[in-house]
Amino acid sequence: MRLAVVLLCALVAVQVALLAAPADAGELVVGYYDKKCRGVENVVQWHVRRALKTNRRAGAALVRLLFHDCFVRGCDASVLLDASPENPHPEKEAPVNIGLAAFDLLEEIKAAVEDRCPGVVSCSDILIYAARDAASALSNGNIHFDVPAGRLDGLVSSAAEAQAELPDSTFTVQQLIDNFARKDFDVEELVILSGAHSIGVGHCSSFTGRLTAPPEQINPAYRNLLNHKCHQGANPAVVNNVRDEDYETVARFMPGFTSRVRKISDFLDNTFYHNNLARIVSFNSDWQLMTHTEARGHVHEYADNATLWDGDFADSLLKLSKLSMPAGSKGGIRKKCSIATHPLY
């Protein structure tokens, strides 16, 4: 009897240790939930596709969340946490995270997964699945990758840390290169991931400098369009891709561009690179790619080959999804993605 108790205690200790230690990127496995929570990827995909039928911008928000989560403390869903006594100023409060969205959608997916498999699937894995499915849907299936899973949800979320780790829209090209290098991404991968700006929106406060930039940096007609949009309210959101702008506004400021206005918005493709070559991108950090020889070469490369970018973007998202939590971090499975309850499951 005593031996049985000792063995039981040892087993519990091992289980607790496994819960507390975050999975290393090398330990992530495709099909991780095949036996633990069969069909979980189908559940996530169903909710994502349903949401995108009424609001494609939710897909752009999910892709952005993947980047903004994984670039800070690794892929641990720390960007999803609300303010709490333990995290009084979480990542979502950082200025660089202005406009983050799709939190409610992820909570909806988490609740559905919890009904199916309580305490099994992490919010961090759900976020990666959802962002992958959004990228696939927004690209008509041209962007896809298998997601290795087994992540744990982190306990720490800091706006100051997010502000320090994430690239800012005002960065110079060298600041961008240095920032990405800290996460082991090279110049080509910087250019590849920047292509996500073919979808989504940005707030005017994120590109104030572009409103007065000289013609060699921004197309004057596009600059006038941005000024017009930014005077429509207090720091309004403006589409990243002028092809998603309303037809009347484009006709007024860029009449020669009306034939390129898209009937379906937020299509994830290589148009970002065409826009950059034409000096019609809103963020300074995007235009900065044209000031660096290697980066500029990749802009031309992906403008010329949409299929190449689709594959390379999928590979870069996969690499991004493998960024792990800092050594020594603790984690678990949250009941709600916005709350780091103690203890976790």
Q: Which among 68, 203, 274, 298 is annotated as catalytic?
A: 68
- Distance, CA of 257 to chain centre: 29
Joined together, the tokens standing for residue 125 give 């894995």
pLDDT of residue 13: 37
Look at residue 156 and give its three-state secondary structure: coil
As a whole number, mean pLDDT of residues 175-189 equals 98
**Is the predicted pLDDT of residue 166 greater than 80, yes or no?**
yes
**Is the predicted pLDDT of residue 70 greater than 70, yes or no?**
yes
Residues paired with residue 202 on neighbouring β-strands, in sequence order: 238
As a whole number, mean pLDDT of residues 10-14 equals 36
pTM: 0.92
What CATH number belongs to 27-166+323-332?
1.10.520.10
- Distance, CA of 229 to chain centre: 25
CB-based contacts of 126, cutoff 8 Å, min separation 6: 44, 77, 106, 109, 110, 113, 337
Contact assessment for residue 125 and residue 28, using Cβ atoms and an 8 Å cutoff: no
Counted residue by residue, the chain has a size of 345
Domains 27-166+323-332 and 173-321 agree in fold: no
Q: What residue numbers does the annotated binding site for Ca(2+) cover?
A: 69, 72, 74, 76, 78, 91, 246, 249, 269
pLDDT of residue 220: 98
Q: What residue numbers does the annotated binding site cover?
A: 69, 72, 74, 76, 78, 91, 167, 197, 246, 249, 269
pLDDT of residue 129: 98
Domain ranges of the chain: 27-166+323-332, 173-321
Residues paired with residue 336 on neighbouring β-strands, in sequence order: 339
Backbone angles phi, psi at 279, to 5 degrees: 60, 40
DSSP 336: B
**Is the predicted pLDDT of residue 3 greater than 80, yes or no?**
no
pLDDT in tens, 16-53: 333 445 455 558 999 999 999 999 999 999 999 999 99
pLDDT of residue 14: 35
pLDDT in tens, 113-163: 999 999 999 999 999 999 999 999 999 999 999 999 999 999 999 999 999
Is residue 342 annotated as part of the catalytic site, yes or no? no
**Nearest-5° Cα angle at 104, 342 to 169:** 95
**Is the predicted pLDDT of residue 319 greater than 60, yes or no?**
yes
- Distance, CA of 300 to chain centre: 24
Tell me if the domain spanning 173-321 has CATH number 1.10.420.10: yes
Contact assessment for residue 176 and residue 282, using Cβ atoms and an 8 Å cutoff: no
pLDDT of residue 15: 39
pLDDT of residue 344: 61
pLDDT of residue 26: 53
Q: What residue numbers does the annotated binding site for heme b cover?
A: 197
